[in-house]
């Protein structure tokens, strides 16, 4: 018996020149407008999102519409480019609803492919409207989709969804109900902020009490669209994790070079050098895995679900370890509220639960690679 | 062959390969004869200079030639059998050899008529190779060196015709400065090769005793006292010779475990399943990392990932083969054969799980230990400071041993 051993064509794992240009634009925007101090100050006000930053990223750079074809109002790029944006957002733990609005919601609407969904899709692509899918952030590709929301007839929706990411920033919520997919204006829903572990990606409980929704798709289409979008989002989340891990590694290497104890830079001690060298190798490997996932999604490769599961099973752990090493090797300063390390640790840990844990994705690998459980 | 400028485009190389195949049809040509003709046509390693088996073409174009030859069923030179010659001796001779040395050694090396071994490690000098003690003394009148000392862990010395050898030519200098690099004739009187049985039961490597071995000065590589720089070229090539290959998914050590898992449901447990999946994922990620490195090389932007690949594969091979023995249950308690043999190559796939488990232990020692490679990544890739050391300026003879 042969498992899915042969990827159709070798994935392109490098970055194109255009992708590097996009990266440079996003990185320079974030360098100017998204520093750790500002992120933290915002988080403490309870309104972590930065709408002005989002506007420049989404409208100025056009990042919100990368996944959307030009004829539907987008940039007509693809997953490889969106992955580059996410790497940079991960490096900066930027408090913007990219993963939710520009990836997850956008992919759902794209897959609905209905006349009702098209105008909303164009709004998302233009960056003028932010949309949060009302599903728990932990919902994973391959998992059973919940249907806690009931339609009492004519799109009047009732139900509660917990742990919804970026709902507070959303103009529109995408609601999966028993009768299909609905768009609900944020004002029609109750959005109750929760206290999130990750200060930079806020969570809320969304409560619908006879809220009117606009129907975008029938139940079968809706469920397939959500399942497909979860796969894309999980695959692209790996790139966010790579960017985050890379920042942690670079920052830590910089710190141990300059920090002296015992009359030597602490980075000259072999115990630390070996830890950091191993981490470097893990980050380099995570990059290859994340690139493979982005490329498989972009090309619609038949083994994309396996490639995404591999990337998620691997990159989550690397990001968490990079952030944990960052805290540890900074010593006392790494434990403080002022130093940005904690923002990265919180994002990394939350990311490791988002869109399926590594364990869940290993279970998917077992299915796709035909390595069944006992 | 045409006397035009060297072909360096895919089409030109394809044409040249077809010319070779037409002049020497593989079916009616002896293996050695064909390989010699291929070398002479510059299609052995196309990035080598003309006249030395190459055409000065980009390295990436070798794939074009190889594909044509494979399709035609042409014999190859069995790179695994002559790995040390191809991966280490050849690039060093190319970089430091005289014209005469290049012409004398590269062709039989590539064709596989002359197998090479690496006489570097010594009982007192492994990771700290520059501490080596084997002495070479020049007899100026005869234009010959006399070499005395002992080498160890020398893979393939029993099959080798030539050895790359480092020896100390000035003990009064600091250790890195008093070393000279030689090409040693393994058939010379005074060279004695004794098998060293290893953990697997077989003797892949050897002890080599050098007693009054006479090496002509014309077999010195590089200047007297410059052997360390030459040896570094060898070592760098040793480490990068891995990585550039394209391997299929489930192509490495994970293959037999995955196959056993699929074919023998009675062996499955939940705990083993978790470990298998973790390792399957890591093997797939290592494959992708290697592929990314290969793509970087082809695009002319080599990344530092190469330094890490040997580390990754060593660890994976060890963990995967360990899991495999455990998975096999009772069978894992058995071993195929402890008879001492002297194999020509290391063959992981043709052997059973116990052998794989034991042989993989060498992956983190041979060609530089994982600890040394981690030091290299930390210092050269991450730029972390070296550890303070006091051995660099002391004369070799005054070092503690
Ligand atoms: C299968 C096999 C084939 C081989 N073939 C050849 C061959 O063909 N030719 C040849 O010349 N050699 C060969 N070798 C030798 C190999 O290159 C050496 O074994 C290796 O470089 C380590 O040297 P050593 O054995 O002296 O160990 P040591 O250098 O004594 O090391 C002992 C331990 O200390 C660690 N250590 C040493 N220095 C440091 C440091 N600075 N920091 C942290 N840890 C350190 C090592 O990692 C190791 O774990 C082969 C070895 C094996 C296993």
Chain mean position to CA B239: 8
CB-based contact B262:A370 (threshold 8 Å) = yes
Question: Region B2-10: what's the mean pLDDT?
Answer: 67
- The distance between the two most distant Cα atoms of chain B, rounded to a whole number of Å, is 74
Tens-digit pLDDT profile for residues B348-362: 878 899 999 999 999
CA distance B214 to B349: 41
Q: A1 pLDDT exceeds 90?
A: no
CA distance B317 to B366: 14
Provide the 3-class DSSP secondary structure of residue B139.
strand
Question: Region A142-153: what's the mean pLDDT?
Answer: 91
Those of residues 303-342 in B touching chain A at CB distance below 8 A are: 303-305, 308, 311-312
CA distance B113 to A368: 46
- Closest residue by Cα to residue A67 from A100, A103, A101: A103
Contact B277 A12 (CB under 8 A): no
Contact A264 B291 (CB under 8 A): no
Provide the 3-class DSSP secondary structure of residue A151.
strand
Query: Which among A10, A276, A366 has the least Cβ separation from residue B382?
Result: A276
Contact A267 B385 (CB under 8 A): yes
Confidence of residue B6 (pLDDT cuts 50, 70, 90): low
Query: Which among A269, A270, A314 has the least Cβ separation from residue B281?
Result: A314
Q: A364 to chain B nearest CA, in Å?
A: 10
Q: What percentage of chain B has pLDDT greater than the value 70?
A: 97
Residue A61 pairs in a beta bridge with none
What's the sign of the alpha-carbon dihedral B43, B44, B50, B55? Answer: positive
Q: B243 pLDDT exceeds 60?
A: no
Task: Tell if the pTM clears 0.80, that is, is over it.
Answer: yes
CA distance B325 to B345: 23
Q: What is the mean pLDDT of chain A?
A: 96
Any atom of ligand 1 within 6 Å of the Cβ of B134: no
Tens-digit pLDDT profile for residues A199-238: 999 999 999 999 999 999 999 999 999 999 999 999 999 9
DSSP per residue, B222-288: SSTT-HHHHHHHHHHHHHHTSS-----TT-STHHHHHHHHHH-GGG--HHHHHHHHHHHHHHHHHHH
Q: What is the pLDDT of residue A6?
A: 60
CA distance B70 to B43: 13
Q: B347 pLDDT exceeds 90?
A: no
CA distance A291 to B235: 31
Q: What angle do CA B126, B128, B134 make, to 5 degrees?
A: 70
Q: What is the pLDDT of residue B246?
A: 76
Look up residue B54 and give its two tokens: 């190459």
Confidence of residue B298 (pLDDT cuts 50, 70, 90): confident
Compute the distance from residue B368 Cα to the ligand 1 centre, in Å. 6
Query: Which among A267, A310, A371 has the least Cβ separation from residue B384?
Result: A267
CA distance B79 to B109: 11
Q: What percentage of chain A has pLDDT greater than the value 90?
A: 96
Residue A265 pairs in a beta bridge with A260
Tens-digit pLDDT profile for residues B86-129: 999 999 999 999 999 999 999 999 999 999 999 999 999 999 99
Any atom of ligand 1 within 6 Å of the Cβ of B116: no
CB-based contact A111:A228 (threshold 8 Å) = yes
- Catalytic residues of B, by residue number, are 238
Q: A4 pLDDT exceeds 80?
A: no
Which chain A residue has the Cα nearest residue B371? Answer: A274
Which chain B positions have a beta carbon within 8 Å of A8's beta carbon?
none
Any atom of ligand 1 within 6 Å of the Cβ of B85: no
Q: A287 pLDDT exceeds 70?
A: yes
Top-confidence residue, B137 or B60: B137
Any atom of ligand 1 within 6 Å of the Cβ of B154: yes
Atom number in ligand 1 closest to CA B375: 42
The b/e string for A350-361 (b: 16+ C-beta within 10 A; e otherwise) is bbbbbbbbbebb
Top-confidence residue, A10 or B381: B381
Place of tokens 């015709």: B161
Look up residue A336 and give its two tokens: 């403080």
Q: A176 pLDDT exceeds 90?
A: yes
CA distance A2 to B257: 13
- Closest residue by Cα to residue A28 from A50, A49, A52, A56: A56
Tens-digit pLDDT profile for residues A299-334: 999 999 999 999 999 999 999 999 999 999 999 999
Compute the distance from residue B314 Cα to the ligand 1 centre, in Å. 14
Contact B384 A273 (CB under 8 A): yes
Any atom of ligand 1 within 6 Å of the Cβ of B205: yes
CA distance A349 to A345: 6
Compute the distance from residue A249 Cα to the ligand 1 centre, in Å. 29
Q: Rg for chain A (alpha carbons), in Å?
A: 21
Q: What is the pLDDT of residue A356?
A: 98
Instruction: Describe the strand order of the beta sheet including A131-133 as a list of residue ranges.
Output: A131-133, A172-177, A180-185, A214-217
Which chain B positions have a beta carbon within 8 Å of A266's beta carbon?
none
Query: Which among A3, A273, A277 has the least Cβ separation from residue B258?
Result: A3
Q: What is the pLDDT of residue B245?
A: 65
Q: What percentage of chain A has pLDDT greater than the value 70?
A: 98
Residue B370's alpha-carbon distances to A206, B307, B310, in angstroms, are 52, 11, 8
Question: Region B139-154: what's the mean pLDDT?
Answer: 97
Question: Region A144-163: what's the mean pLDDT?
Answer: 93
Q: What is the pLDDT of residue B239?
A: 67
Tens-digit pLDDT profile for residues B377-398: 999 999 999 988 888 899 999 9
- The distance between the two most distant Cα atoms of chain A, rounded to a whole number of Å, is 74
Interface check B285 vs A, CB under 8 A: yes
Which chain A residue has the Cα nearest residue B307? Answer: A281
Interface check B136 vs A, CB under 8 A: no
DSSP per residue, A117-148: HHHHHHHHHHTSS-EEE-SBTT--TTSPPP--
Q: B265 to chain A nearest CA, in Å?
A: 7
Contact B288 A13 (CB under 8 A): yes
Which chain B residue has the Cα nearest residue A307? Answer: B284
Place of tokens 């670079």: A250
Long-range contacts from B59-65, C-beta under 8 angstroms, 24+ separation: B59/B297, B60/B297, B60/B298, B61/B8, B61/B10, B61/B13, B64/B10, B64/B13, B64/B14, B64/B17, B65/B13, B65/B14, B65/B17
Q: How many alpha carbons fall within 13 Å on the CB side of residue A160?
A: 5
Q: What percentage of chain B has pLDDT greater than the value 90?
A: 81
Any atom of ligand 1 within 6 Å of the Cβ of B365: yes
Confidence of residue B307 (pLDDT cuts 50, 70, 90): confident
Question: Region B64-88: what's the mean pLDDT?
Answer: 93
Confidence of residue A23 (pLDDT cuts 50, 70, 90): very high
Confidence of residue A2 (pLDDT cuts 50, 70, 90): very low
Q: What is the pLDDT of residue A7?
A: 64
Provide the 3-class DSSP secondary structure of residue B125.
strand
Q: What is the pLDDT of residue A113?
A: 87
What's the sign of the alpha-carbon dihedral A274, A280, A283, A287? Answer: negative
Q: What is the pLDDT of residue B2?
A: 44
Compute the distance from residue B161 Cα to the ligand 1 centre, in Å. 24
Q: A66 pLDDT exceeds 70?
A: yes
The b/e string for B173-186 (b: 16+ C-beta within 10 A; e otherwise) is bbbbbbbbbbbbbb
Any atom of ligand 1 within 6 Å of the Cβ of B120: yes
Q: What is the pLDDT of residue A59?
A: 95
């Amino acid at each position: 018996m042969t498992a899915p051993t042969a990827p159709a064509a070798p994935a392109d794992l490098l970055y194109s020149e255009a992708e590097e240009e996009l990266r440079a634009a996003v990185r320079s925007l974030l360098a100017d407008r998204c520093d750790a101090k500002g992120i933290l100050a915002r988080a403490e006000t309870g309104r972590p999102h930065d709408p002005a930053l989002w506007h420049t990223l989404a409208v100025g750079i056009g990042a919100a519409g990368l996944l959307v074809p030009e004829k539907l109002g987008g940039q007509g790029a693809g997953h490889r480019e969106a992955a580059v944006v996410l790497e940079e957002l991960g490096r900066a733990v930027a408090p913007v609803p990219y993963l939710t609005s520009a990836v997850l919601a956008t992919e759902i609407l794209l897959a609905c492919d209905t006349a009702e969904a098209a105008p909303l899709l164009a709004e998302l692509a233009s960056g003028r409207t932010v949309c949060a899918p009302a599903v728990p952030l932990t919902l994973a590709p391959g998992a059973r989709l919940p249907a806690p929301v009931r339609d009492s007839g004519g799109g009047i929706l009732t139900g509660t969804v917990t742990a919804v990411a970026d709902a507070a920033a959303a103009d529109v919520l995408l609601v999966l109900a028993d009768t299909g997919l609905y768009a609900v204006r944020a004002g029609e829903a109750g959005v109750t902020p929760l206290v999130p572990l990750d200060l930079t990606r806020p969570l809320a409980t969304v409560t619908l009490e006879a809220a009117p929704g606009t129907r975008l798709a029938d139940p079968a289409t809706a469920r397939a669209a959500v399942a497909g979008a979860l796969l894309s989002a999980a695959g692209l989340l790996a790139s966010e994790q790579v960017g985050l891990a890379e920042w942690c590694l670079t920052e830590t290497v910089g710190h141990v070079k300059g920090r002296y104890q015992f009359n030597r830079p602490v980075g000259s001690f072999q115990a630390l050098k070996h830890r950091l060298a191993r981490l470097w190798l893990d980050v380099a490997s995570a990059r290859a895995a994340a690139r493979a996932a982005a490329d498989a999604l972009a090309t619609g490769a038949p083994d994309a679900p396996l490639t995404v599961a591999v990337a998620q099973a691997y990159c989550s752990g690397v990001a968490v370890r990079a952030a944990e090493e960052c805290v540890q090797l900074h010593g006392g300063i790494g434990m403080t509220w002022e130093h940005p390390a904690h923002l990265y640790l919180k994002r990394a840990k939350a990311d490791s639960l988002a869109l399926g844990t590594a364990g869940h994705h290993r279970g998917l690998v077992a299915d796709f690679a035909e390595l069944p459980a006992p | 062959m045409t006397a035009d400028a060297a072909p360096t485009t895919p089409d030109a190389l394809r044409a040249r390969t077809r010319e070779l195949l037409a002049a020497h049809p593989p079916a009616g040509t002896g293996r050695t004869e064909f390989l010699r003709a291929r070398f002479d046509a510059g299609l052995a390693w196309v990035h080598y200079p003309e006249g030395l088996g190459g055409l000065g073409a980009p390295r990436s174009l070798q794939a074009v030639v190889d594909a044509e030859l494979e399709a035609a069923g042409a014999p190859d030179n069995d790179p695994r059998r002559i790995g040390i010659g191809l991966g280490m001796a050849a690039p060093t001779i190319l970089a430091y050899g005289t014209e005469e040395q290049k012409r004398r050694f590269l062709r039989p090396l590539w064709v596989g008529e002359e197998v090479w071994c690496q006489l570097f490690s010594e009982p007192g000098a492994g990771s700290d190779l520059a501490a080596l003690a084997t002495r070479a003394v020049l007899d100026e009148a005869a234009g010959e060196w006399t070499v005395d000392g002992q080498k160890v862990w020398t893979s393939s010395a029993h099959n080798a015709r030539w050895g790359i050898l480092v020896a100390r030519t000035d003990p009064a200098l600091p250790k890195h400065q008093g070393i000279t690099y030689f090409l040693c004739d393994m058939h010379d009187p005074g060279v004695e090769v004794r098998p060293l049985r290893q953990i697997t039961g077989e003797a892949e490597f050897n002890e080599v005793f050098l007693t009054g071995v006479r090496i002509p000065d014309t077999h010195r590589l590089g200047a007297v006292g410059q052997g360390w720089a030459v040896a570094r070229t060898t070592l760098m090539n040793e480490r990068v010779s891995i990585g550039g290959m394209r391997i299929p998914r489930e192509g490495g050590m994970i293959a037999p475990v995955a196959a056993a898992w699929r074919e023998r449901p009675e062996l499955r447990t939940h705990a083993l399943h978790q470990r298998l999946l973790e390792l399957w994922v890591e093997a797939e990620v290592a494959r992708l990392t290697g592929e990314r490195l290969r793509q970087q090389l082809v695009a002319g932007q080599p990344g530092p990932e190469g330094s890490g690949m040997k580390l990754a594969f060593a660890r994976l091979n060890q963990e995967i083969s360990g899991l495999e023995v455990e998975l096999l249950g009772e069978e894992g308690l058995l071993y195929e054969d402890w008879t001492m043999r002297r194999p020509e190559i290391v063959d992981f796939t043709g052997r059973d799980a116990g052998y794989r488990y034991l042989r993989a232990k060498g992956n983190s020692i041979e060609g530089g230990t994982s600890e040394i490679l981690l030091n290299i990544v930390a210092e050269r890739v991450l730029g972390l400071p070296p550890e303070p050391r006091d051995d660099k300026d002391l004369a070799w003879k005054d070092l503690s041993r």
